[in-house]
A = this chain, B = another copy of it.
Amino acid sequence: MYKVKVYVTLRESVLDPQGEAVKNALHSMNYGEVGSVRIGKYMELEIEKGSKEVEETVNEICSRLLSNPVIENYRYEIEECVAL
């Protein structure tokens, strides 16, 4: 079994109104030292060994469902779990 961590972030050129709102909230809570906030998604998947390479599966899943490639980037880490 593989444990996969997926990080989806907005592309640099895309405005992040949610992050902007968090930044303004932090400023009004007296955390003026916070300069910029960008908000993304973090996902943990468990994937069984299948017929395809796990990396291929993860790439397909990320680009087809978990992210919107027009405005978002994704990266991932794959850990193999070995049953003892």
Q: Are B34 and A61 in contact (CB under 8 A)?
A: yes
Q: How many copies does the complex hold?
A: 2
Q: Are A43 and B47 in contact (CB under 8 A)?
A: no
* A40 neighbours in B (Cβ, 8 Å): 41-44
Chain A interface size range: 35 or more
Q: Given the known inter-chain contacts A35-B48, A49-B33, A50-B33, please indicate yes or no for A25 contacting B65, CB distance below 8 A.
A: yes
Apart from A1-B35, A31-B61, 12 more pairs, CB < 8 Å: A7-B42, A19-B43, A26-B65, A31-B57, A33-B49, A33-B57, A34-B61, A36-B45, A36-B46, A38-B44, A39-B42, A40-B41
Which A residues fall within an 8 A CB radius of B? 1, 7-9, 19, 22, 25-26, 29, 31-50, 57, 60-61, 64-66
